[in-house]
Amino acid sequence: MSGYIKKSNLISGLIVAFFTFFIALLVSLGSEALVQAVNNVIVAVILLLFIIFLGIFFDIIGTAATAAEMPPFNARAAKKVFGAKQAVKLSGNADKVANFCNDVVGDIAGTLSGAIGAGIVISLAGEIDYVDLVLTGAVMTSMIAALTVGGKAIGKSIALNNANSIIFKVAMIMAWVENFSGTELFENRK
């Protein structure tokens, strides 16, 4: 099996890439429009921090999904505990959950934070005459990287130590969304 890619994995990867492109495009256009409409460096910094936090938050969920243990969720599902069925789905689809949370959302958050950081640097250069673009850009990039990598390092520790608790909380939210919308977010794995 090693040495070649299964056709189903290739198709799955292409579908993820396709949807990621459009999600990133929509989120990017929306955040750029917001930054330009407000035209305020402070609001842009708040948006930047929010996007970095969002990437860290989803990284925690993705990591917790891979570390969660299914037997406690199966026991709760047998007792019809609200959210337990969804926790089983999340654990059973840990690879898909981790791919979406860590890769799709994480990469979109990383790309957007870089774009917003560049926008902040350009805005500062336009407002303050003596700003060195290269130095300011380097400092901004370093700060974004430090916050993202440091936050994810802390988040991974939290996720690994509290995996079942995190996944159950996400599952409860997922159960509420499924009840409200009438659609299932994940199919059961066979």
Alpha-carbon span 105 to 182, nearest angstrom: 24
Q: List alpha helices for the chain, DSSP H.
A: 7-38, 41-67, 70-78, 84-92, 94-98, 106-127, 133-161, 163-181
Greatest C-alpha distance within the chain: 66
Contact between 43 and 68 under an 8 Å Cβ cutoff? The reply is: no
Q: What string of pLDDT tens digits covers the 190 residues of the chain?
A: 445 567 666 777 777 777 778 877 777 777 667 666 656 788 889 989 999 999 999 999 999 999 999 999 999 999 999 999 999 999 999 988 998 899 888 888 888 888 888 888 888 887 777 878 888 889 999 999 999 999 999 999 999 999 999 999 999 999 999 888 888 876 655 4
CA distance between the termini of the chain? 21
